[in-house]
Structure 1
Amino acid sequence: MKVIILAAGQGTRLRPLTDHCPKCMVEVNGKSIIERQLDTMHSCGIEDKDITIVAGYRNDVLKEKFKDTEVKFIVNKEYETTNMVCSLMCARNLMETEDDILISYGDIIYNKEVLEKILKTEEDMSVVVDDGWYEYWSARCENPLDDAETLMFDRNDYLTEIGQKTSDLNKVQSQYIGLMRFKGAGLQAVLDLSAEAERRSESGQALWRTERTYAKMYMTDLLQGLIDENYKLKAVHIQRGWFEIDDCDDLKVVESQLK
């Protein structure tokens, strides 16, 4: 298995902490987000040589940090005008030559138990979801629904909807955290759907349930596209054990709760 960490973003909502370094290098209680991720991966037996970071903003700082390791880098040179899916597709060559890929956002921290859960899955497509999200979101924002997005699954735990804005709490059965795994036919489906999204965008066609163009696609747009094309995405359920750092308020919450 290979790992792709998506860490090209500028982290504008974390400024001034990101004035001179990428978002993933912001420190949480004395250790950066990316170092915490790598520590967790190492604890599960994942080696540096199997990890590729898709960098963008201030990639020079990130590369310098890990210059004495076997961690690999791919640079999204268009990080200022693109989003997650384009960053992922910068690693297309890696995805085309491997059969098992773990994808992680670069601005999240998760413990060993969370990672172990998705490493044990047998599904071709699996997505970690947090059933204990509401209490955490309540600490992050005054109204959890202001930031939460839909996530629904059927009786067999396959996702039916993800990433849509909603004011209906019943449509948020759990919350996506930004950690997923694709194997075999599932990995090929991601490549095929991304290519289809790019083709549609270039010809002015809509991309499933989003008005965003291919360049601006969120990862949840891609996942919803897979669902709408009748692919089976398995929900891997957790109860907390992770944090997201989007802004300085998030950082305060994480630092108060993370030991």
Structure 2
Amino acid sequence: MTKILATISRRTPRLKGVDMIRINGAFGHPSKYKKLLDAKYKGKPVILDIPGDRKKHRHLTVKDEELIDGAIDNGIDYIGVSYVETHWDVDIVRAYCNERPVKIIAKVETRKAINNLDSIIEAADGIMIDREDLSNAIGLERVPAIQEVVVKRCQKHGKPVIIASQFLRSMLNSSSPTKAEVSDIDRGVSQGADYLMLSEETAIGKYAQKTVDVMRRIINARKRRAQAVILAAGSARGLGGLTADRHQSLLDCGGQTILKHQLDNLTHCGILEEDIIVVAGKGLEKMRKELKDTMVHLVYNPWFETTNMLASLWLAREKFGSNLIVVYGDIVFDRAILKDLLQDKKDAVVVVEKKRPDEYEEKVCVCGDKVVLHPDYTNLPAPAHKSIPTGDAFGEFIGLAKFSGRGLSALLETMGSIINARQMGTYLLGAVERMVEQDIAVNILQTKGRPWNDNDTLDDFKRTRKVVFPKIKKRYLHKR
């Protein structure tokens, strides 16, 4: 989750709640900060900015070398290189460091740096996008779009990214932020920035600690917001010609598509459109058309023919916050089930209908309110959850789940292991079984007779249209 990087001066009071410290080499040698850093911020990573000149080609001056040597001698973790324009600017600094223990952050603040972005990201250990200087180089109106590009490119390369400058400038002399500043911070968090940086606000501002507290509250509020991912990338073979050119989520289930029904349920229960992700495969252009007037994020699974639910979920992982709802793209369901799921405080919860399931369904064994493995789990043919004898199962997983906190961390770690092992045909419930195998608690939430249906076959879809969806629609018609 996004962390806070605060710039300090020797007059800055001790700041609580910051994750990383920045000192500016233009205002003194690192040795002058060592006592302060050891006393107030011991254990926090520190970055030293080496100043540069926009108008001059990057080369190391004697002062630069003194700052780098001072940074390394005084245990500074990162060196921030200003006005980087090509990967050579990073390479020059790295060569001087000569494998000494310090990492290099390239500051993106020129037009040329944007043009050479990928090679700079590859050369550096991380990127800082300095929006103030960048706006002078490319124009203020272009900065938001470039910010998003830089964050996405860094995520693609697996490098950390810092968004810097002007987040809470009004708090230099005011105890409260503006609404625009709050939105700006929220946007940086939603894009997936690793750090948001405070500059003058904490270095010389009148309300340094309050500025940190405000940023922390905004980040935490964003962190608590639920997100949803709809897995709609399957090949939908069981529905014949109805899904020849589209996923079944785009079929009309009774006046609206299954996808529209799911989006309505999610937004009605308080999940914002911009916090919803749809993973698509078959019929990508039709899915784009369906979502064109929304703020829903679309992720493409190009391997949809040969992968399963877990691979689609893995492809969307960079957009996850810390409270995730997972929805199979082929289900219709009573929104009251989703409401109960969102209110459940447990970290990993799967929704189950208690019944004697059919042989082909995703079956669950339960003890109390927790998922357990079948006694013969290790000997069952894969996928194990589909091979459980119907008489031994508690019920059927309906394709709706929640993962938050430790549950989400465990899911991500488990998914990573499965994907690294190239087990691309794994179901979501397969990952849940792995979690249970590692003694991670996965709880159940029962449907309690509330209507739902999946749509794997023509018979399923007929039942949805004739029985299940009319029942759901009737229940909520008067509440619209």
What TM-score results when the alignment is normalised by the length of structure 1? Answer: 0.85
Larger radius of gyration: 2
Q: How does 1:46-65 map to 2 (within 5 A)?
A: 46-65=271-290
1:89-135 Cα deviation digits (max 9, x unpaired): 0012123xx1111111000011111111101100111111112x44x
For 1:69 and 1:226, locate their aligned partners in 2 and report how far apart those are by CA, in whole Å.
Answer: 34
In the alignment, which residue of structure 2 is the partner of 1:243? 453
* Bigger share in helix: 2
1:107 aligned residue (314, 323, 330): 330
Counterpart contact for 1:159–1:233, Cα < 8 Å: yes
Structure 1 residues 19-34: aligned runs within 5 Å: 19-34=244-259
The answer to whether the aligner puts 1:185 opposite 2:406 as a matched pair is yes
Secondary structure in 1 matching 2:243: coil
Counterpart position of 1:198: 419
2:387 is equivalent to residue 165 of structure 1: yes
For 2:267 and 2:362, the matched residues in 1 are separated by: 31
Alignment RMSD (CA, Å): 1.5
Q: Residue 174 of structure 1: CA displacement?
A: 1.9
- Report 1:113-192 matches (<5 A): 113-131=336-354, 133-134=355-356, 145-155=358-368, 157-161=369-373, 163-169=385-391, 171-192=392-413
Cα distance change on mapping 1:180 and 1:67 into 2, 3 Å: same
> Displacement, 1:30?
2.9
- 1:4-19 → structure 2 map (5 Å cutoff): 4-19=229-244
The equivalent position to 1:90 in structure 2, one of 315, 321, 336, is 315
Greater Cα offset, 177-186 or 37-46: 37-46
Cα displacement (A) at 1:84? 0.7
Q: 1:168 to 1:243 in 2, by over 3 A?
A: closer
Partner amino acid, structure 2, of 1:60: E
The answer to whether the 8 A contact 2:245-2:282 is kept is no
Match for residue 217 of structure 1 among 408, 426, 429: 426
Q: 1:38 to 1:254 in 2, by over 3 A?
A: same
Q: Post-superposition shift, 1:168?
A: 4.2
5+ residue gaps, structure 1, are 135-143, 203-213
Displacement of 1:145 in angstroms is: 3.1
Match in the other structure for 1:74: 299
Q: 1:28 to 1:192 in 2, by over 3 A?
A: same
The answer to whether 1:227 aligns with 2:436 is: yes
1:198 deviates by 2.8
Higher RCO (C-alpha 8 Å, min separation 6): 1
Amino acid at match of 2:439: N
Does structure 2 conserve the Cα–Cα contact (< 8 Å) formed by 1:145 and 1:167? no
